[in-house]
Structure 1
């Protein structure tokens, strides 16, 4: 028994396969025996694909990277946020906006009070 590696019609790695390479003994009509060693299937290779490849591809002599750079980059892209994450982000933005608006209102109220005080001091009959 030994492990071999199955490839598809594009010569891309599919899966490891256990292959029984034990000799097969058959008895002939004349009473003699014949021993044959099974051949590995055409869609398999004996050389293991190296670690680190995204889509190992067999070129007939060695394994190469079969994935395009765009494919590899897409695997490393940050995952898009789900609905809950989006709502959390929007909620945080709205809370910040609300706090900024509350501060603006408070500032405007203070300015309005200062103006009212100045007007009261300027008007005849107002406090001096």
Structure 2
């Protein structure tokens, strides 16, 4: 058994697709559109692991999570980039490109070397070695 895909509501479908393609190597399929429901989505495929489905539709309630306050449910997605140097480099690239870094590169108590960035919708993304 394995996780096939994860789904994420977004308010900025194209910006989110571009973010995950540009910084995490995702490859999007052709956009799916259901005009009746005003639903649009992309599936992004990565080199390893599950796919990510980005979905947009009017009427979806705002996410209650903020950079300093987290509600129940899924908290973050972690991408492994292979080394401490790669964590540092991607973190600096994201910072330079204007994204919010909410966790500077560090070794956590459970042994991960990671940083944390917010995607365009404010979701937490861990970048791990």
By relative contact order (CA 8 Å, sep 6+), the higher-ranking structure is: 2
TM-score by length of 2: 0.20
Greater strand content: 2
Determine which structure has the larger helix proportion and give its number: 1
Higher radius of gyration, 1 or 2: 1
